[in-house]
Structures are given as structure tokens and as C-alpha cells.
Amino acid sequence: MPAKFLNCPDGITRTFEQCLSGCPKPNGECLSLPTRYELSFGRVWNGKASTTQLLNPTRLSYLQIIKDYAITPQERAYALLGTQHHKRLEVIAKKIKELQSEKMVQDLVNTGTLDLLEPDGDKWKLTDYKTWGAYSVAKIQQEDSFERFNASLQLNDYRLKVESLGFQISEMRWQITVRDGGTWKAKKDGITDKIMLIGADWLDNDLVTDYFLRKNTALITALETNTMPELCDYEERWHGNRCGKYCDVMPFCPEGRKVNKLPPLEATNDPI
């Protein structure tokens, strides 16, 4: 489900309704009204998982579906930047009749929305837009890295879906806008460009199909039985860093509470 609360800068957690009807903070709003509206949008669970939900750790997706959780606006700045980036490129792509952009695709397991299909003779190039920091770009350039494999799974899932519709894919790639491109930190990570086009890996069809079927089964089973999925893999937890700073549903996760030195779930009456 979409997030229901905002962690405001004054330390108080408020509902989106409170923020959208008129900021109740004594010292005034922290963000413009359109920005608050944009942050309040989210994918509503309709019984069928998306590619992104299945790429995420199963426990994370499960808790996002069943819990009313809070987000911190300042932590969504880059996501907002990426969303606006997508929208601008989508507007341009729709003016070019040969292109297919923001195309909704699905199969019996899950749904997805690909960013761009571009003609390449009698075939098509499949492009996914990303807005990432230089560190993430450096990781995706490493062969056999978890980050590269995970991002390649997404594009290969889209590839299989559009191939079933008759589009023959010639190339898969990421077009990455580097958030901190041009800075000393990016150069330290070995990234000198501010926007990059990087080819994705072609993965075995059965591997891709089995991965998404397995993840979908785990998520649906957890939802139907109301059972907390197993702990996210170490790499999915970003070697522990995700639990500490970058997980919105941390308050509902035993591991997240332990990492953040919070009381166990059974010992708290946290209203959120």
C-alpha cells in the first residue's frame, strides 16, 4: 500500500491528510503543496505484484502492503528527482511516433512498466532510465555484482514480456543520470560522466522466469497466511546498512528494530 504517514521535520509523525489539507506545523510547511501531493502517491496493492515489488526483499514488500507506514520527505528527494526525469523523457518520447514509452506489460505472474522501446531495424532496443549516485553506478559496472544482477533481472523480465507480444529485442541497456556526476566524490568512485548508457546482461530465460515465480509465490503465500517472510538476504540488506537508514517499514521488522536498538515488537504499543 502507499505510505500513510510523513515523518515531519519537527519530529512529529502526521498523516498525509493532515499535510495535504493544510500544514499543521507551528513553524510552517517544509515542502510545497505539489511536492507533498507527489510524495503521497503510491502503488495500491491489487493482488498482483509488480516487477519492482518482486525485486525487493520479500519481507520489505510484504510489510509495505500490510502496514500503514511513514516516509521521511527528505529521504525521498532523489526518488522525486528520478520521477520527474522519467516524466520529462516520457513526454518527449510520445512526440516521436516510432517509440514505445511507459509501456505496461504483464504475464501470469507479475506486471511491469518499461521506460522505452526504440526501433533498431526490424528489432527493438529496450532502455530503462535510472537516476543513481556514482557509487551505485560503479557497482553496476562490476561483473557478477549483486546490483548488476538485480538490475539485469528487471530488464530481462521486461524483455520476456515484450517478446511475448512480438517485439524482438536487440539490446538492453540502462541510461543512468548520475546524481553527483562531476563531483570529486563521483570521480573518486571512477565515474566521470554525468549521464551514461550502459549495456545490461542477457540472462537465461528459465533463470528469469524461475526467479520471479519463486519471489511471487513467497510474497503471495506470506500475504495469504499472514506470515512474516524470512529475513532479507545480507546483500538485499546492503550489508546491514538498509536496516539502519533506508527502510521505511523498519518499525515493523524484528531485525530492523534490533539494528536500530528499539524494543522488540511484542514490547511496544507503537501506534504506527
Cell triple for 139: 557497482
Task: Classify 156 as helix, strand or coil.
Answer: helix
Of 5-19, 128-142, 213-227, the one with minimum mean pLDDT is 5-19
**At 35, which amino acid appears?**
T
* Alpha helical stretches, state H, 76-119: 77-94
Reported as a pLDDT band with limits 50, 70 and 90, residue 95 is low
Instruction: Please name the residues in contact with 267: beta carbons below 8 A apart, sequence gap of 6 or more.
Output: none
- CA proximity to 268, closest of 255, 259, 254: 254
Distances (CA, A) of 95 to 167, 174, 197: 21, 21, 22
What does the buried/exposed string (b/e) look like for 239-261 if buried means 16 or more CB atoms within 10 Å of the residue's CB?
eeebbeeebbbbbbbeebbebee
CA angle at 161 for the pair 160 and 167, rounded to the nearest 5°:
85
Give the pLDDT confidence of 61-88 residue by residue, as tens digits: 999 999 998 888 777 666 666 666 666 5
Taking residues 188-198, what's their average pLDDT? Answer: 95
Mean pLDDT is highest, among 62-71, 75-84, 219-228, 233-242, for: 219-228
Q: What is the pLDDT of residue 81?
A: 64
Reported as a pLDDT band with limits 50, 70 and 90, residue 272 is very low
The pLDDT > 90 percentage for the chain reads 61
What ranges do the domains of the chain cover? 76-212
Give the pLDDT confidence of 145-155 residue by residue, as tens digits: 999 999 999 99
Q: What is the pLDDT of residue 88?
A: 59
Q: Is 80 exceeded by the pLDDT of residue 105?
A: yes
Reported as a pLDDT band with limits 50, 70 and 90, residue 25 is confident
Distances (CA, A) of 233 to 40, 149, 193, 230: 29, 14, 32, 9
Phi and psi dihedrals of 212, rounded to 5?
Answer: -70, -30
- Residue for cell digits 530465460? 205
Cell triple for 204: 537465461
- CA proximity to 110, closest of 76, 171, 160, 178: 160
List the CATH code of the domain at 76-212: 3.90.320.10
Q: Is 80 exceeded by the pLDDT of residue 136?
A: yes
Q: What is the pLDDT of residue 16?
A: 81
Taking residues 163-180, what's their average pLDDT? Answer: 94
* Alpha helical stretches, state H, 107-204: 134-140, 146-163, 184-188
Taking residues 226-240, what's their average pLDDT? Answer: 94
Q: Is 70 exceeded by the pLDDT of residue 210?
A: yes
Predicted structure pTM score: 0.87
Phi and psi dihedrals of 257, rounded to 5?
Answer: -65, -35
Reported as a pLDDT band with limits 50, 70 and 90, residue 40 is confident
